[in-house]
Amino acid sequence: MDGCVASVFSLAIVPLYFRYVTKEQKANYEEFLSQEYTLVQDIRKFSFIEYQHASRVSILSRKCAEAINANSELAACGGFYYRLGKIEGEPMIDNALKLANDYCFPNDVTQILAEYGGIIYLPSSKESAIVHMVDSVVTKVELFDKDAMSSTWNQNMVIYQTINELSQKGVYDNSGLSMNQFLIIRNILANEDILA
């Protein structure tokens, strides 16, 4: 009888605890993305162009993560701070990790920063793969001027080529992304006005 009571109690408490933890994590990510947050202001002061890039990557990463039922808050936060190391300069990844540690970032955001560009580690989660894909596409599109990207065909060609090359190199093999999820993300990016 005690075992049955303990089981019923556990079945009632565990979902409530899970909801509480999830809610607190979301609030934590949103705090790191708040316009009033110190590090957000530091990025904006460092370079408005870098701030715009971070905002674009964050918004698109959230949208892509929502589309495949991944952690959209984590993707948005990881996307915003993906190039955090630029504030301190080289070595970028080490400096990003140091800043993340100084500001007590959650471990999953820090992991995305450690996997920046697939330089040391390849993306190991769906959210990290999303951020990598979005950052690669946004960076490539930003390199061209608005006139070169005025045609939807031009932008789509750049996006498809960029993402397909990364996929062929096996960058996302350890991320857990299915082929269907990869195609959904690619389609979203191809249909967005990246420079808007």
Share of the chain above pLDDT 70, in %: 84
Q: Mean pLDDT, to the nearest integer, of 116-144?
A: 93
Question: Which two three-digit tokens encode residue 169?
Answer: 């190199």
Structure confidence at residue 18 (pLDDT): 53
Select from 144, 138, 179, 145 the least CA-distant residue to 162.
138
pLDDT at position 132 over 70 = yes
Distance of CA 144 to the CA centre of its chain: 23
Q: Of 54-63, 85-94, 150-159, 160-169, give the lowest mean pLDDT range.
A: 150-159
Domain boundaries, the chain: 2-190
Please tell me the distance from the alpha carbon of residue 149 to that of residue 170, in angstroms, as a whole number: 28
Task: Name the more confident of 153 and 76.
Answer: 76
**Spelled out in words, what is the top-level CATH class assigned to the domain 2-190?**
mainly alpha
Say yes or no to pLDDT of 191 above 60.
yes
At 82, phi and psi to the nearest 5?
A: -55, -40
Copy the structure tokens of residue 18. Answer: 């899970």
Share of the chain above pLDDT 90, in %: 69
Confidence at residue 192, expressed as pLDDT on a 0 to 100 scale: 85
pLDDT band at residue 112 under the 50/70/90 scheme: very high
Between residues 158 and 64, the one the model is more confident about: 64
pLDDT tens string 138-180: 998 888 765 555 556 677 888 899 999 999 999 999 999 999 9
For residue 91, cis peptide bond before it (omega within 30 degrees of 0)? yes
d(CA 113, CA 127): 11
3-state SS record for 13-77: HHHHHHHHHHHHHHHHHHHHHCCCCHHHHHHHHHCHHHHHHHHHHHHHHHHHHHHCCCCHHHHHH
